[in-house]
Structure 1
C-alpha cells in the first residue's frame, strides 16, 4: 500500500537547493516518520512493557516512535488523544483501544487524513485500521485459558471470571470462547455469575470485587482473570485466606504473577510479550509508510511473529506464553 505519507516522504528526498549557475545542490534528509502508540492506560506494567518495544523499534529503525495513554482506561479520553495526534499530523497511529466501537469514528477520521492506522487487541477494527495485529487468535487463547482453569479445578466446581471491562473486545472474546469450551467439555463446572466481573484494570477495584465474591461464594473453586489486575488480585485474595484449594488462572506477567505461581496461589498465567506486540505493530506501520506490502509469512522481527498469517485484515502471530512455577523466572518482563 502506497500512502500519501509515503509519497510526500519520497518527494522530500530530492529537493534541489539552488537554481543559479554553479550553485551546488542541497539534498534534503529523508523524512523521519512519527509513529505513535496510543495504549489503553498509563501506570500499568503491561503497557510499561509495551512502551519498551515501541522505543526499541525507534532505535532499530531510526524513526520517532513513542507511546502515550490516558491516565485511566477512559475511552473518551483515549479518543481525544487520537484527535490530538491527527491535529499533530503524525505519520502512523498504533492503538490498543479501551472500547473499539467508540474509537472507530476517530480512527476513520485519521485514516481519511492519510495517517496509517494499526490496531492491537481490536480485531473488529480491521476494516477501519489498515491492519490489526494479534499475538494469536483470541478464540484459541480464551479456550486455552479456561481449559487450564478446568484442569486446575479437576473439571468440576463453581467459578467466576474477571475482565477489564465488558466493552474490552479482547477480554470478552477470551471469555466467550472460554465459556463455550467449558460448556462443551466440562459439564460439572458452574459459572455462578450472570456476567464476568469488571475491574477497570484497577488493582483496588479487582481486589475489592474478588473479596466480595469470595464472601458470597465460600465454596468457590476457581477464578479466571482476563486482566492482569484481576488475576493478580485474585491470587492475592486467596493467598490472604490461605486458600490453595481455589484455582487461579489467567492473564499475567512474570514480574507480577511470578511470586504467586512460586508460592502456589496461582496455578498458571498466560500472556504474550507486550513489548513484542508493540514492536510488531510498529513494524507493520513502517512497512506501509514505506509503500511495502504486508503479506503472510513475513517476519515482524519478534519471537512468535516470525512467520505471520493474515486473515481479513488481521495479522496473527503465534506468541502465546504459558507461565508456571517452574518457568516464570525465564522471562524478564
Structure 2
C-alpha cells in the first residue's frame, strides 16, 4: 500500500509542477495554432465609430487578419462620438485582457499617454498613428507622410483657389488632435510667410469633433457671421464636406473650400465646383500597415529602413526617431473620379 501511496503522491507532485510551469508561461492570449505557432492578438483602437474614414481603416485591419489567419487575430474598435475618455478606457480594457499589441489613433495624445505607458509596462506592443508626439512612449508611430508638408500643401491649395487674398476660416477635428493641429499650424505659418493679403477670421480654428452635425452647424455659423468669407480649410472630412454641402444648398461657389477628404464623400463636391481641392491618404492602407508592423515586432523581425509593410506607399518605409514614414499622400481634384478608381 505504501508503494502505491508513493506513486500517487509522485503523480500529484508532477501535476502540480506542470500547473506551475503553465502559470509562468507567456500570456494566455497567445493561443496555439494547429501548426504550433502562436496566434497574436492585435487590436486597432480608432478615433471614432461609424464614420467613413474609420470604416475604411477597419477594412485594412480585416484584410490583414484574413491574410494572416492562424497567426494573428486582429480587429478594430472605436468609441462612439470620438470621446477621448472612452477611447482611453478601451485601451485600459485591452490591457486587462492581455492582448499582445495595440495600435491606436488617439483623439487626445496627451490623455492617452499614461495608459500607453501602463500598457508598455505590461509588455504590450504599441503602435500609434497620427501621434508622432508619442514616439517616446510607443514602439513606433506610423505616418503616411511628413505632416508639415501635408499641411503646407493644403493651405497652399487654398491660397491658389482664393487668388492669394481675402478672409478664410479653418476647422479641425479637435484642438487636441496632433496631426490636425500640425497641418493647421504649418499651413498658417505658410500663409503668413507667403500670402500677406490672406487673413484668418479667428486666432484658433473651429473644431467639429469629427461629427457631421457639429461641422454643419459650425459652417452655418461661420457663413452667417462672415458674409464676405472667401475661403475655408478643413482638416477633417466632416469639415470640408459639410461646408461644401451648405454652399451647394446656397448655390455659392465664391467660397473656396479645401479640405481633408475621401473620394466617396468629397468627389461629388469637387466635380460640382463646391470644393476646390481635397487631399487624403487611404485609411485602409495605414490600418493594414500599422497592424503589420505590430505583427513583425511580435514575430521577432528586425525593424529598419526599407522594410515593406505590405501596402502602396509603405513598401519602403523610412524611420526617424521611432516615427515610421510612408510616402502615401493622395490629391483629389475635379476630373479625376473615374468609376472604380477609388475604393473608399
Please say whether Structure 1 and Structure 2 have the same fold, judged by a TM-score greater than 0.5: yes
Q: CA deviation at 1:328?
A: 3.2
Matches of 1:325 and 1:82 in 2, distance apart?
Answer: 40
1:122-137 alignment runs, 5 A limit:
122-137=131-146
Q: Indicate the structure (1 or 2) with the bigger Cα radius of gyration.
A: 2
Matches of 2:191 and 2:144 in 1, distance apart?
Answer: 23
SS of corresponding position for 1:158: strand
1:44 is aligned to 51
Q: Deviations over 1:24-83 (max 9, x none)?
A: xxx972111110000001011000000000000111122100000011111111010001
1:293 aligns with 2:302: yes
Q: CA deviation at 1:306?
A: 1.1
SS of corresponding position for 1:255: helix
TM-score, with normalisation over the residues of structure 2?
A: 0.89
1:217 is aligned to 226
2:90 alignment partner, one of 65, 78, 81: 81
- Give runs of ≥4 in structure 1 deviating > 6 Å: none
1:1-333 alignment runs, 5 A limit:
8=26, 29-62=36-69, 63-329=72-338, 330-333=341-344
Matches of 1:75 and 1:117 in 2, distance apart?
Answer: 18
Number of residues of Structure 1 aligned to a counterpart in Structure 2: 313
TM-score, with normalisation over the residues of structure 1?
A: 0.91
Matches of 2:117 and 2:67 in 1, distance apart?
Answer: 29
Q: Deviations over 1:139-185 (max 9, x none)?
A: 01000000111111111110010101101111000000000111111
SS of corresponding position for 1:32: strand
